[in-house]
Amino acid sequence: MSQSLSSLIFHFVFSTKHRRHQIPREIQPRLHKFIAGTLRSRQSKLLAAGGMPDHLHLLASLNRQISVSDALQKIKSNSSRWIHESFPELNRFAWQNGYAAFSVSFSHIEHVKRYIQNQERHHRKRTFKEELLLLLKEHLVEFDQRYLWD
């Protein structure tokens, strides 16, 4: 093959440090737009974003030349800086150190989009911790509970 082609779609999940409620509902759309711009600058695309005051879900298509860890590092560091500059009252804002990343089949994109867009309804029944544990188990991700929470 004379060129390299890819379809790399991921569902990312990460929370605020200590799962503090630091993402007010009114800034969420602006935060999502900012993250979309961060991804665009790396030839990647945000397909869906949603979450709650203590965590974020992203569905993204990554350029084949950017790693998952590099994408998340840029998203988290740039958005944290943007929040501090744009909302001085959130000067204690911080993301947790880690993240969860799940590969998504092209045929499941719409299902994951709906899941992300229905976070508020979804969290009437389960906490972020319960949600993350369920996602990890569904994707057969091995983890040590001692290091899962900050």
Residue-range domain boundaries for the chain: 8-147
Long-range contacts of 25-34 (CB under 8 A, 24+ apart): 25/53, 27/83, 27/86, 27/87, 30/86, 31/56, 31/79, 31/82, 31/83, 34/78, 34/79, 34/82
Q: Is the per-residue pLDDT at 16 higher than 90?
A: yes
Q: Which CATH number fits domain 8-147: 3.40.50.720, 3.30.70.1290, 3.40.50.300, 1.10.510.10?
A: 3.30.70.1290
Residue 28 and residue 90 in contact, taking contact as beta carbons nearer than 8 Å:
no
pLDDT attached to residue 13: 97
Segment 45-57 shows an average pLDDT of 97
The percentage of the chain sitting over the pLDDT mark of 70, rounded to a whole number, equals 99
Residue 69 — pLDDT band, cuts 50, 70, 90?
very high
Segment 110-128 shows an average pLDDT of 92
Residue 12 and residue 100 in contact, taking contact as beta carbons nearer than 8 Å:
yes
Segment 82-106 shows an average pLDDT of 95
